[in-house]
């Protein structure tokens, strides 16, 4: 748990585990940002009591399986969304719930996990007083938090784009389809479905926020929220394109599979069609009938060789005409 | 049939089969909740007459094959929805129609079946006066009933999620597709279609209720209804994801099937392509022509062995180059 | 052609072929319902002239290939829809156009065909004065007609449901897909498309009627129209589910087809892979070389038998390991 | 180029190539309809100048590749749509752009081609003064032109319906799929896509026109436009159904293809599975080992025949049990 | 960087690299169009400072990965879109971001690349004073720029149409599907997805612009924007049709693949079904049993030939009946 207090003059950053101690240092002349990692029920309830939050909000913070949502109360504004991190080790997407309460001079952020390096940039800017962040109200801080989360989405977008392109190149260059490919396509599709599950409602909610007419959202912030909106639209459009690409890859893969089967069957047919009739001819003259005139001809054996060669050539010619060797 | 009467002071719970007897005990200072299981025409009509319900409502309660719907009358509010239970024995979804009439100081609930353990939590809370339920009006009780039904939906959601994940693991780990898998996929798809059939209109109806401006819905309850709305959205989003997953599983399964065919055909082609030409060669020297010089060579037999080995190796080499052994 | 006159006191039912004669008996104190079967141009025009109907209505009645539609005029209201009957003989859906004109004290119904047993219930109720039908205005009669037509739709729904379930059972229990199955699936799909073509616009039109603010629709009737609306929604939701089910059946069928091919090919490959190499070995010792040492060994024949058995066992073992016998 | 002038009293029809000459004969007491076939830039500009048309309209008339559109100006109304003719010779759909300008007492129609027999009915009615056409204003003429074009669409609809039904019958009755069928399906699909490209926006535009509140559209004409709207809806619904049907035909065709492959492979497998093992047995006793006891048995040959017959029967029995002969 | 100044009297065209120098020459009696190619941060910031642009705009100009968007400020209007060029060398689509700022008497256009020959026509018209461009305000110039960009889209449309038609012809005329075809189909699909990604939002934005009620958009320009809107609709409808066509081509291709497999398997089955039984017969009489009566018959050999011919003919007859030679 961490309390960051700032205004255009000052900046303090206190870490602590005791809610009571922390809340006593709250200064109404500053913006007070309390960031809680791995939020526990006890802590959430104490903070909620201090800031008089609605009972429903406490529940929403504690239950971690939400879609993004926005609720507007008279004295504060509640926003919950999903942070996603790409874990490069096991190539999984890690999820973390982030709940934000926005009051007149306080911002509360509750994270369900502890992987919160997303806020590092904001903290650095706050400390150094870089940009306009120290001069603006809580809504600008809120915009910065949203922006940081969405930047992480863009990282995931780029990682997925890379993986899709690698996969596409692999499928196009490997005409012998491997079974693992379907798994990879489905894995990517699943990740995209997961991200879209959160980004699509987020877009609606940011739009709602823009027109919300809440006293906590200053007109100047609307432009920044519009920017967030544009970025979310770009995200969603890109994910839509990725889905199309994966669908195309699946089709390509299945067409390759069909092609492969065709090629294998062609080989079998070519070999069988040439040699089965020849084997039959050889079988004929392997029969033990007493009266088989051809066997006694002087050049019978060589004539048969000739006939068989002719037969084989005819077959090959026919196959060539049917484009089977292509 | 059961009549529960409560207010912040008292709580009584009467069971009975006689409508007339039950209705005489109705107390206008309390909230009167009449819960009818396996509702019969006779009973419904008597109760409807007592509470002056519209004829259409009686019909709606008795006909059991409804989609969820809401009707707002001047003196009461009629809501019908579908309870679903997962029967773990035969892995089926059991359905039960639940109709609720909401008046100023009474709530009537009619269940078409008798598997009503959904209300146990509510009854316990009422008895013990836990939470705010005894202090609130009928609309809060109504919210609690809705909430209990939707909790059951979430149970089904989790059960289905589990089954889909088990199936996915099975398909991914078993490269030899079994015919039963398609049946399982379709079975799951059917269940999801069934649940969605009820949850999708439910969402619209709860939204309608929120903005209904009925005198029975107090402003404080709107927040709870919003929570129901959010939960229904989460349900529907999840079911949508499940559908996608099942579609992907079907594709995976069919791709596995194609792969299997490819593998089988490759084996056949490899064996046939190697041995059919060799059999032909053996057939040649099984012929009985009188004049076959090779037969009289001293090492003819061994030379032919050599030629056949060479042929076989060439074939294998060609196949290797074509990646057929992968 | 038939004229039914009724009010709360009296009920008369006159059949006739002469429009002029019929119209003279029209009584403005009653509700006059003229039902015309297999409506001919001449008759329609005479009736239209008597009731001063718009020229467009005449055309709409006579041209039989309509989608459902509603037109509201000052002095009457025109509604046209499609009656569907399931002909159990040739398993076809028969269609009939039904046009209704609703005036203050008259209802005109024009049927394009003659299979009009749909109205039997209404006529019986009118005759016996059962229910509220004799006390209500023309709009209630109109509701009853609509209701009768939609009941017929529900009959079709049930018949289709039965057929789909029979088909599903058949496909699931018959692992050897028959060619006729695709035809049956497509036949059912076609029927569903046909019914939906009429029920989907009907729903919109009934909604329009509910809010139409026409003087012929009394407030009390709105509730009944709402009921029609709910029923149409239920119909459409069910047909949507049927479509999904048929799509699933098609997939199941095609997967069965693939499975069958796999099974056939496996059998071929098993037989061929075992016997082709053995035949080759037998072919070797069928050669007639002079110098083949093995032929002269005492137990050569038995050794070869042993080798062939070993080879066969190895093949079977390999196939078992590859799960080909499953 | 043709100028038709009419009112309830008179009717004149002048053809000519000189715009100036034609325009001098324009009579403001009549409705003046100028119909230009194969409209050239020069002519369009002269006419536009005479009637003071907006520059944009000239461009829209001359550029022939439009979607239907409607533009409402103060003194006139511009409408452009696509006429389609079915060319029965080469089974192609011919397109022609039709632009209509509607003024108070003039109607200008510009056709890009010369196949304009669509207007014959209108001209006949005008000449004979049949119907109400001579008594009505320009908006009724406009309705009649629209109606004539849409009638042509219905012709195409019927032709396509016929072709689809022929194709369906062919596919259902021919179990041996021919390669040309896919081409035919795609050809039909293309035609439907083409017609829908024009009819779908047309519907929106007619709706817009109905509510346009232009002084050139009299209230009485709205009913006729409604009729056009209904017809377009019917067209689009039917084309949608056709698309479904073609999709079903494609599926049917591909299922037939799969069935055929299955049947072919079954035949191969039956033959190969019976004869390959038998050939092996024959091969065994074709070996030349010195010590093969069976060869010297008196009935060895007949015993082997018996064994082979037994083997064949066993195979056939197994296949029968596996339903391979169905 | 280039500054074009014009009004109805004068026209000057200055190129330069120094922003400060350029801005000093700005003349408020003219329309000042600054066109910046390969826009660098430094330059953009200087220009933005001069014209007092919002900080967000600078960012939007510099970040090149946008979807089209429109932002309306009090003193100017910001529009960004995507120019696409078809690079005929490597058959790729090149992208370039174009940002436009529209003020009362200035237009700023920032291109991210340098391939800007799109504006040549506009510049020529400006120089020669052709058309109304010199008489109109900045909004007309803006329309011309939009129009030039969209013309480029139409070029791409025509190129893609050509490629799709070539591909279609190729697939229809080549019954032996080549593996590269899938790649080509997917390549085209990708290009269409890319263009649509920009044209679909563009359409919405132009609609928004039309109704934007900004002081910079004169009523007379609305008609021109409407034209742009119509063109974008036409573009999107066409791309939609292309997508359908490519989907159809893919289906055609896969059907061809299936057909090919069918044909290959038929050939194999015909050859194998005829010769395998015959080879068996030959094998029989190749056995070395001592007691085989047929071997000693005088015409045994010829009788066997006869039997084998008969067998072959029977097989061929059966296959003919089964339509296998079609």
- How many Cβ atoms from other residues are within 10 Å of residue A257's Cβ? 20
Average pLDDT estimate for A212-239: 86
Q: What is the pLDDT of residue C274?
A: 92
**Using a CB cutoff of 8 Å and minimum separation of 24, what contacts does A20-23 make?**
A20/A46, A23/A47, A23/A50
- Calculate how close chain D gets to E262, using CA atoms only, in Å: 6
**pLDDT for A313 beyond 70:** yes
Contact A261 B256 (CB under 8 A): no
Contacts of B301 in chain C (CB under 8 A): 287, 289, 291-292
Instruction: Report whether B230 contacts B236 (CB < 8 A).
Output: no
Q: Which of C175, C230, C272 sits opposite B179 (nearest CB)?
A: C175
Residue E78 CA to residue A26 CA, distance in Å, equals: 42
Q: Which of A253, A254, A282 sits opposite B283 (nearest CB)?
A: A282
What's the sign of the alpha-carbon dihedral D173, D178, D180, D182?
positive
Give me the number of domains chain A comprises. Answer: 2
Contact C287 B271 (CB under 8 A): no
Chains that touch E (3 or more CB pairs under 8 A): A, D
Instruction: Report whether C85 contacts C93 (CB < 8 A).
Output: yes
**pLDDT for B201 beyond 70:** yes
Contacts of E224 in chain D (CB under 8 A): 56
The verdict on A263 and A229 lying in the same domain is no
The verdict on A21 and A80 lying in the same domain is yes
Looking at residue A121, which CATH number applies to its domain? 3.30.460.20
pLDDT in tens, D138-147: 889 999 999 9
**pLDDT for C124 beyond 90:** no
Q: Considering only CA atoms, which of E124, E119, E126 is closest in space to residue E145?
A: E119
Burial profile E71-84: b = 16 or more Cβ within 10 angstroms, e = fewer = bbbeebbbbbbbbb
Residue E44 CA to residue E108 CA, distance in Å, equals: 10
The verdict on B146 and B227 lying in the same domain is yes
Provide the 3-class DSSP secondary structure of residue E325: coil
The verdict on D189 and D291 lying in the same domain is no
The verdict on D94 and D132 lying in the same domain is yes
Average pLDDT estimate for D229-242: 91
Contact C258 B253 (CB under 8 A): no
Contacts of C282 in chain D (CB under 8 A): 280, 283-284, 286-287
Q: Is residue A61 part of a domain?
A: yes
Q: Which of E251, E258, E272 sits opposite D272 (nearest CB)?
A: E272
Does residue B197 come out as left (phi exceeding 0), alpha (psi in the -120 to 50 range) or beta?
Answer: alpha
Using a pLDDT cut of 70, give the percent of chain E over it.
98
pLDDT category of residue A101 using cuts at 50, 70 and 90: very high
CA distances from A112 to A52, A309, C22 (A): 21, 79, 81
Total residue length of chain D: 326
CA distances from D267 to B262, C272, D184, D277, E56 (A): 20, 14, 30, 16, 72
Token representation of residue C135: 């006390």
Q: What is the pLDDT of residue D115?
A: 66
pLDDT category of residue E236 using cuts at 50, 70 and 90: very high
The verdict on C177 and C314 lying in the same domain is no
Contacts of C265 in chain D (CB under 8 A): 265, 269
Residue B44 CA to residue B53 CA, distance in Å, equals: 10
**pLDDT for E99 beyond 70:** yes
Contact C56 D227 (CB under 8 A): yes
Give every CB contact of residue A125 below 8 A, 6+ residues apart in sequence: A131, A133, A144
Residues 117-136 in E contacting A (C-alpha not used; CB under 8 Å): none
Q: Is residue E199 part of a domain?
A: yes
Residues 277-316 in C contacting B (C-alpha not used; CB under 8 Å): 277, 279-280, 283-284, 286-292
pLDDT category of residue B115 using cuts at 50, 70 and 90: low
CA of D187: which chain E residue's CA is closest?
Answer: E248
Compute the C-alpha angle B181/B186/B192, nearest 5°.
Answer: 130
DSSP letter at D17?
S
pLDDT in tens, D65-85: 778 988 888 888 999 998 888
DSSP letter at B118?
G
Q: What sections of chain E are H helices per DSSP?
A: 19-24, 41-51, 55-62, 120-128, 138-173, 180-210, 219-284, 293-296, 300-321
**pLDDT for B127 beyond 90:** no
Q: Which of D177, D178, D267 sits opposite E269 (nearest CB)?
A: D267
CA of B221: which chain A residue's CA is closest?
Answer: A56
Contacts of B237 in chain A (CB under 8 A): 67, 197, 201
Q: What is the pLDDT of residue D96?
A: 87
pLDDT in tens, D5-24: 888 888 888 888 888 888 88
Q: Is residue E326 part of a domain?
A: no
Q: Is residue B225 part of a domain?
A: yes
Contacts of A289 in chain E (CB under 8 A): 285, 294-295, 297, 300-301, 304
- Calculate how close chain D gets to C82, using CA atoms only, in Å: 14
pLDDT in tens, B36-45: 888 788 888 8
Give the rounded distance of the alpha carbon of E12 from its chain centre: 38
Q: Is residue C326 part of a domain?
A: no
Please spell the DSSP secondary structure of B277-306, one letter per residue: HHHHHHHHTT---S--HHHHSSSHHHHHHH
Which among B200, B234, B256 is the end of a domain? B256
Q: What is the pLDDT of residue B116?
A: 58
Q: What sections of B174-287 are H helices per DSSP?
A: 180-210, 219-284
pLDDT in tens, B5-41: 888 888 888 888 888 888 888 888 888 999 888 878 8
CA of D280: which chain C residue's CA is closest?
Answer: C279
Q: Which of E277, E287, E291 sits opposite D271 (nearest CB)?
A: E277
Residue C325 CA to residue A30 CA, distance in Å, equals: 76
The verdict on E50 and E86 lying in the same domain is yes
Average pLDDT estimate for B85-102: 85
CA of D171: which chain C residue's CA is closest?
Answer: C183
Instruction: Report whether D157 contacts D245 (CB < 8 A).
Output: no
Average pLDDT estimate for C294-320: 91
Using a pLDDT cut of 70, give the percent of chain D over it.
98
Give every CB contact of residue C271 below 8 A, 6+ residues apart in sequence: D269, D272, D273, D276, D277
**pLDDT for B314 beyond 90:** yes
Residue by residue, what is the 3-state secondary structure of A47-83?
HHHHHCCCHHHHHHHHCCCCCCEEEECCCCEEEEEEE
The verdict on A239 and A134 lying in the same domain is yes
Contact C255 B254 (CB under 8 A): yes
Contacts of C180 in chain D (CB under 8 A): none
Token representation of residue A253: 């893969």
Host H or E run for residue D299: none
**pLDDT for C314 beyond 90:** yes
pLDDT in tens, E144-156: 999 999 988 998 9
Please give the interface size between A and B, counted as residue pairs whose CB atoms are below 8 Å apart: 122
Q: Is residue A53 part of a domain?
A: yes
Compute the C-alpha angle E204/E207/E208, nearest 5°.
Answer: 85
CA distances from A18 to A46, A47, A116, A123 (A): 10, 10, 20, 21
Q: Which of A227, A252, A283 sits opposite E186 (nearest CB)?
A: A252
Contacts of B189 in chain C (CB under 8 A): 244, 248
CA distances from C254 to C179, C185, D245, D259 (A): 11, 12, 19, 10
Average pLDDT estimate for D174-198: 86
Residues 156-185 in E contacting D (C-alpha not used; CB under 8 Å): 172, 175
Q: Which of D67, D264, D271 sits opposite E234 (nearest CB)?
A: D67
Q: What is the pLDDT of residue E29?
A: 85
Half-sphere exposure of E273 (CA within 13 A, CB side): 22
Using a pLDDT cut of 90, give the percent of chain B over it.
26
CA of B197: which chain C residue's CA is closest?
Answer: C237
Look at A90 and C225; give whichever has higher pLDDT: C225
The verdict on D223 and D301 lying in the same domain is no
Contacts of B326 in chain A (CB under 8 A): 176, 178
Chain B interface, mutation test: which of C288, C295, C304, C318, most B Cβ atoms within 10 Å?
A: C288
**pLDDT for C179 beyond 80:** no
pLDDT category of residue B107 using cuts at 50, 70 and 90: very high
Q: What is the pLDDT of residue C115?
A: 66
**pLDDT for C38 beyond 70:** yes
Q: What is the pLDDT of residue A100?
A: 92
Contact A257 B255 (CB under 8 A): yes
Which among D205, D236, D256 is the end of a domain? D256
The verdict on C92 and C237 lying in the same domain is yes
pLDDT category of residue D312 using cuts at 50, 70 and 90: very high
DSSP letter at C37?
S
The verdict on D148 and D195 lying in the same domain is yes
Using a pLDDT cut of 70, give the percent of chain B over it.
98
pLDDT in tens, B262-301: 888 888 999 999 999 999 999 999 888 888 888 888 888 8
Residue A189 CA to residue A246 CA, distance in Å, equals: 7
Half-sphere exposure of E6 (CA within 13 A, CB side): 25
Contacts of D201 in chain E (CB under 8 A): 233
Q: What is the pLDDT of residue E38?
A: 81
Average pLDDT estimate for A265-288: 91
Looking at residue C299, which CATH number applies to its domain? 1.20.58.340
Which among D204, D221, D256 is the end of a domain? D256
- Calculate how close chain E gets to D179, using CA atoms only, in Å: 7
pLDDT category of residue D223 using cuts at 50, 70 and 90: confident
Average pLDDT estimate for C283-303: 88
Q: What is the pLDDT of residue A274?
A: 92
CA of E237: which chain D residue's CA is closest?
Answer: D197
**pLDDT for C249 beyond 80:** yes
Token look-up 């991200």 returns A195
**pLDDT for A87 beyond 90:** no
Half-sphere exposure of B8 (CA within 13 A, CB side): 4
Q: Considering only CA atoms, which of C165, C324, C184 is closest in space to residue C245?
A: C165
- Calculate how close chain E gets to D26, using CA atoms only, in Å: 30
Q: Which pTM does this prediction carry?
A: 0.84
Chains that touch C (3 or more CB pairs under 8 A): B, D
The verdict on C237 and C147 lying in the same domain is yes
Q: What is the pLDDT of residue E116?
A: 58
Token representation of residue A149: 């989360």
Contact B255 A254 (CB under 8 A): yes
Token representation of residue E97: 């971001």
Residues 8-67 in D contacting E (C-alpha not used; CB under 8 Å): 54, 56, 65-67
Least trusted range by pLDDT, from B107-116, B242-251, D297-306 = B107-116
Total residue length of chain C: 326
Q: Which of E175, E237, E265 sits opposite D264 (nearest CB)?
A: E265
Contact C261 D265 (CB under 8 A): yes
Contact B300 C283 (CB under 8 A): no
Q: Is residue B326 part of a domain?
A: no
Q: Is residue A252 part of a domain?
A: no
Contacts of A54 in chain B (CB under 8 A): 223
Q: What is the pLDDT of residue A316?
A: 92
- Calculate how close chain E gets to D136, using CA atoms only, in Å: 31
CA distances from D180 to D187, E22, E255 (A): 11, 67, 11
pLDDT category of residue C57 using cuts at 50, 70 and 90: confident
Give every CB contact of residue C135 below 8 A, 6+ residues apart in sequence: C8
Q: Is D252 on the interface with E (CB under 8 A)?
A: no
**pLDDT for E115 beyond 70:** no
CA of B276: which chain A residue's CA is closest?
Answer: A275
**pLDDT for C116 beyond 70:** no
Q: Which domain holds residue C83?
A: 2-256
Q: What is the pLDDT of residue E274?
A: 92
Residue D308 CA to residue D314 CA, distance in Å, equals: 10
- How many Cβ atoms from other residues are within 10 Å of residue E100's Cβ? 24
Chain D interface, mutation test: which of E288, E292, E319, E324, most D Cβ atoms within 10 Å?
A: E288
Give every CB contact of residue D318 below 8 A, 6+ residues apart in sequence: none
Give the rounded distance of the alpha carbon of E211 from its chain centre: 30
What is the layout of strands, in order, in the sheet containing B2-6? Answer: B11-15, B2-6, B31-36, B106-111, B92-102, B77-87, B69-72
CA of D172: which chain C residue's CA is closest?
Answer: C183
């Amino acid at each position: 748990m961490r309390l960051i207090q700032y205004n255009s003059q000052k900046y303090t950053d206190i870490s602590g585990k005791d809610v009571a101690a922390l809340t006593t240092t709250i200064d109404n002349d500053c913006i007070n940002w309390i960031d809680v990692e791995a939020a526990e029920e006890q802590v959430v309830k104490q903070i909620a009591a201090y800031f008089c939050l609605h009972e429903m909000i406490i529940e929403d913070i504690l239950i971690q399986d939400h879609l993004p949502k926005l609720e507007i109360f008279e004295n504060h504004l509640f926003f919950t969304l999903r942070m996603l991190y790409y874990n490069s080790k096991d190539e999984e997407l890690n999820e973390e719930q982030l709940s934000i309460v926005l009051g007149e001079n306080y911002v509360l952020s509750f994270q369900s996990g502890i992987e919160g390096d997303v806020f590092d940039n904001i903290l650095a800017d706050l400390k150094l007083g870089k940009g306009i962040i120290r001069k603006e109200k809580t809504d600008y801080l809120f915009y910065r938090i949203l922006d940081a989360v969405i930047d992480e989405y863009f990282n995931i977008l780029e990682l997925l784009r890379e993986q899709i392109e690698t996969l596409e190149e692999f499928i196009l260059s490997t005409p012998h389809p491997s079974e693992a490919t379907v798994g990879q396509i489905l894995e990517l599709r699943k990740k995209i479905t997961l991200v879209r599950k959160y980004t699509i409602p987020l877009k609606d909610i940011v739009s709602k926020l823009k027109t919300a007419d809440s006293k906590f959202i200053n007109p100047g912030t609307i432009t920044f929220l519009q920017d967030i909106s544009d970025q979310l639209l770009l995200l969603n459009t890109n994910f839509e394109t990725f889905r199309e690409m994966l669908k195309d890859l699946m089709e390509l893969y299945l067409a390759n599979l069909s092609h492969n089967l065709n090629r294998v069957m062609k080989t079998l047919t070519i070999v069988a069609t040439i040699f089965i009739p020849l084997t039959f001819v050889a079988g004929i003259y392997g029969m033990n009938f007493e009266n088989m005139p051809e066997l006694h001809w002087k050049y019978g054996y060589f004539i048969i060789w000739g006939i068989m060669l002719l037969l084989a050539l005819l077959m090959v010619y026919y196959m060539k005409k049917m484009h089977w060797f292509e």
